[in-house]
Amino acid sequence: MKLVSDQLLSSVGLTLVFAGLALILVAVVWLFARSSRGKGSVKGGGVVVIGPVPIIFGTDKETVKTLFILSIILVALLLIWAVISSQLF
């Protein structure tokens, strides 16, 4: 007995891929517009999640702190999703 259809899952997955691409496009345009003014500084960072362990890097403490909080939220959502999906299937 399937509770969620394959067609629904594929359409949700495709929608999330397009939403991610749109978010990347908006971020690049926003950063380009912001940097073209010649004011401000550049801050950056990233997170690599291997299993439930996030590896965080960044240029300043505020960026690392923000990425740390976001990575904890991401790992918690992934664990919740894993528990729920294991109960559904």
Q: What is the pLDDT of residue 26?
A: 95
Does this model's pTM top 0.75? My answer is no
- The predicted pLDDT at position 2 comes to 63
Residue 76 has pLDDT above 60, yes or no: yes
Confidence of residue 49 (pLDDT cuts 50, 70, 90): confident
Measured CA to CA, the distance from residue 58 to residue 66 in angstroms comes to 10
Question: Is residue 63's pLDDT more than 60?
Answer: yes
pLDDT tens for 11-30 read 888 999 999 999 999 999 98
CA atoms within 13 A of residue 32's CA, in its CB half-sphere? 6
